[in-house]
A and B are shown apart, each in its own frame.
Chain A
Amino acid sequence: MSDTTQNGPMLAADGTPLKRSLNRALRRQKLRALMLIAPLLIFVLVTFIAPIADMLFRSVENQIVSDTLPTATEVLEDWDHTTGAPPGEEVYQALYYDLYLAAEARAHTRLGTRLNYEYTGVSSLFRSTGRGLEDLGEEYQDILEDADDRWGEGAFWYELMTGTGDTDARLVREHRARLQALENARLTGDVGFAPSVEIKELLPQTTFAYTDFAVFTALMDEDVVAEEDPWEGVYAGLAQDLETADLSGYDGPGAEALVAAQQTLAEQAEPINYTAFFESEDKDWVSPDIWATIQTYSSTYTGGYFLNAVDMQLTPDGIEMRPDGQRLYMVLFQRTLFMSLTITLSCILLGYPVAWLLANLPASKANLLMILVLLPFWTSLLVRTSAWKVMLQQQGVINDVLVWLGLVDDAARLVMINNQFGTIVAMTHILLPFMILPLYSVMQGIPPSYLRAAKSLGATNWTAFWRVYFPQSVPGIGAGSILVFILAIGYYITPEIVGGRTGTFISNRIAYHISTSLNWGLAAALGAILLAVVLLLYWAYDRIVGIDNVKLG
């Protein structure tokens, strides 16, 4: 059209290349669309996806062991459980100081609860030992303070540990990280203490224990380190260090007090023995089984919960099946699947004729029927379930009628509740509308003329229904079945009330582990498996029937 020939790219009105200008406009539009749905997206992410992901993550998370006993689990790595002997003194030594800090932070009992899921008795072992830890240090503290009052003064200790030369800030950082892991929180603030390098080399265990004390005092109690008297555990560290320390080259603060203390302890105190201390606290501490359990579960992530969820267990010798009498979850998974399928089938059988009636009756009658279908929706779930209890129990309405009619002997009333039958009946009733509604909306879309055409071409009633009508209603069955099945598989309240011994679902166990046993890891593993099973069935359904064949209306 124009007589000017254009070389180069086509330009927009403002002179920028058209391609870029279009891209920019498109991008702006996309961004605007994204911003429009952003509130919903963020809402779903924050309130739905993130909590579920967090919960499922617990099924493998196992930091608590290495967070609570960081040094002990590290030293324990070299120990071989197959020897049948308890680990060496160095493990008990590490355990003492790990547990000491954990007990101050009141985190040792949490670990006890965690390990008690794997080894019965650890809970009280940690609880009682946590109370006794101070006794070991107190012995030495008394001897030292009797000899020299200064050992009981916070300011003297602070001067001794800070020294005069270079200080080691890295150690403080490490111990702060240790405490943060224990408390599960970020701890900011100044510790106001760093051990001198000289003292750290001379008295390593004392420095270790004192730094724990200093970090905890400054960050958790929010006190000034120099004004507080150290924990009893610090004295245990000092006693251990002084057994071997060579003080001849040391002339920093408190040098003469240290020499005197070495003398006093050598004369008056027994050499420190951590193994003997733990054995006197509880014999179980020298049992190799406990240590094997700690070693097995010391990794940051564990498959232990998932193994438990399928009736296996992680033992020091590898993966094993649980003993015969203790297998529970596979039975429950199978039962849950079987019963959900049964419920779905009975919903199809009962719902199909109702939906057909709804779709084919005149509007006035269909509306009345529709209200009857929806009525259960407006009644509390608990009321509906409890009503079934009244109906089905042995002294209930149905049994009374049967006895009155003479069909059942008074002494042999039917057992219809607190078993699988009761759960199936009650849940079929509760979930029926979820089958009827999709079926109804699909059936409404099937023109009645098809059936009439089939019949006029010579089909019997049955052939017309089976060959013409039914195939067109399959998408409704598919949609209803998926709805009912997925709702049923995770159902909790009804099986809990009417399930009795044989009618409970896996969800009842999940609820138990969430709210009663507090074993959230196992609950998460069970939940993850359940989710996987549902997704797998959904995939299979898609392959066999095709998800395009599902219609809600």
Chain B
Amino acid sequence: MKLTQSLLAGTALALVAGTASAQDMTFVSWGGAYQMSQQKAYVEPYVEANPGVSITWDESSAEAVARLRAMNEAGNITWDLVDVVAADAIRLCDEGLAMEYDPEDMLAPADDGTSAEDDFGDMIVSDCFIPQIAYSTTFGYRTDMVPEGVDAPSDICSIFDLETYPGRRSLERRPINNMEWALYCDGVAKDEIYDVLATPEGQDQALAKLDTIKDDVIWWTAGADTPQLLADGEIFMGSTYNGRLFSVIVEQDQPVAMMWDMQVFDLDGWIIPTGLSDEKLEAVKDFVYFATDTQRLADQAAYISYGPARQSSAPLVGEHAELGIDMAPHMPTNPENAENTLLYNYEFWADYRDDIDAKFQAWLAQ
């Protein structure tokens, strides 16, 4: 008798939960500190303003493209809003897995009335991509491992200079960024890098330059690798996302410093999967409108050192929510840090990724 009752109650609960499904949304993000910053800056205030909405996180952004494609083939999309890097957004758009949207229509204008399209500007790199933050891939180095009598490294080419700066380095196990840095340090002018890299000779040139440090490099695949290697003193310098280095330097207080020279800017943002029901789509659109306005994007920078994608958000960036330090100097977009930068070339890598990656991996395996 008791069992029957509890079963019935359970069914009733499930039914109630089922009817409220339009308000249950599943968001996909990267987990860790980044997802936490989104939770604090966007989701918590949104849920407070809209009681009844419940948001579940799925930490699958790293494999979002493959998962969405598989979901689409199975005809069952279970995600409502997905956080991806811009290159993945372009691919999802190409595959028809992400929804095209109209920025004027779906995103809030800036406080001074500037339209969303102008406020985001070039950051909207694809018809499906709703920009959120700008981050950069840059270098950190151990301050206690700089040889005596030598200046701390401030030039990107010091990664190739084993004589002045001995010690191991860590680089990402993919050609993107590494090939550009190699060509730049092999004397190719900055605005000619991609013209050179498009030719087989240019690719060989970049690999030959990387060959000079091949034995002194640890190749990383996860963003957390370089911070760990730096903290353990395994390497002298290594590349990773600037937010990870911020955490090593400021939050964990390790003897590490940034080397911003030739940092590569990249973007991260939302896409809405195609094939959502009208009801779901309305709920998602409402959230996106809220979560991408000027104030919300600026709020996110209080939890993580990534720059807001809106121009109008930049002046609103304040202090770190817990440490109380001024965040501006730690932003990749800060003028002092951004003296010499590169922007991820989406068009080029969409074309050349497969080809150059095959060569790069063959070179690595040798």
Contact = CB atoms under 8 A, between A and B. Distances in A.
Interface of A: 106-107, 109-110, 112-113, 116-117, 120-124, 127, 325-328, 331-332, 335, 393-396, 418, 496, 500-502, 504, 509, 514-519
B359 interface: yes
B289 interface: no
A115 to B, nearest CB: 11
Which residue, of B204, B232, B365, has the highest number of chain A Cβ atoms within 10 A?
B365
Contact of A517 (B63, B233, B354): B354
B95 to A, nearest CB: 6
A501 B365 contact: yes
Interface string B327-366: 0000000000000000000010011111101110111111
B233 A395 contact: yes
A509 B174 CA distance: 12
22 contacts: A106-B96, A109-B94, A110-B94, A112-B94, A120-B355, A121-B352, A122-B351, A123-B350, A127-B350, A328-B361, A331-B366, A335-B365, A393-B232, A395-B234, A501-B217, A504-B365, A515-B65, A516-B66, A517-B354, A518-B69, A518-B91, A518-B95
Interface string B230-248: 0011100000000000000
A331 to B, nearest CB: 5
Nearest to B96: A106
A519 B65 CA distance: 12
Interface in B70-105: 91, 93-96
Given A325-B363, A332-B365, A509-B361, A496 B221 contact: yes
B30 interface: no
B365 A328 contact: yes
Nearest to A107: B96
Given A518-B65, A518-B91, A328 B358 contact: yes
Nearest to A113: B94
Contacts, number: 85
Contacts of B359: 325-326
Nearest to A324: B362
B218 interface: yes
Interface in B181-238: 204, 214, 217-219, 221, 232-234
Given A328-B362, A328-B365, A517 B95 contact: no
Given A109-B94, A109-B96, A393-B234, A123 B351 contact: yes
Contact of B94 (A127, A395, A501, A515): A127
Interface residues of B, number: 35
Given A110-B94, A112-B94, A328-B358, A120 B218 contact: no
Contact of B91 (A113, A120, A396): A113
A501 B219 contact: yes
Given A116-B354, A395-B233, A418-B218, 16 more contacts: A113-B91, A113-B94, A116-B351, A123-B94, A328-B361, A331-B362, A331-B365, A332-B365, A393-B234, A500-B219, A504-B365, A515-B63, A516-B66, A517-B354, A518-B69, A518-B95
Contacts of A504: 365
Contacts of A113: 91, 94-95
Contacts of B219: 418, 500-501
B351 A110 contact: no
B276 to A, nearest CB: 16
Nearest to B352: A120
B351 A517 contact: no
Contact of B66 (A122, A335, A502, A514): A514
A127 B95 CA distance: 11
B232 A124 contact: no
Interface in B48-78: 62-63, 65-66, 69
Contact of A120 (B94, B354, B363): B354
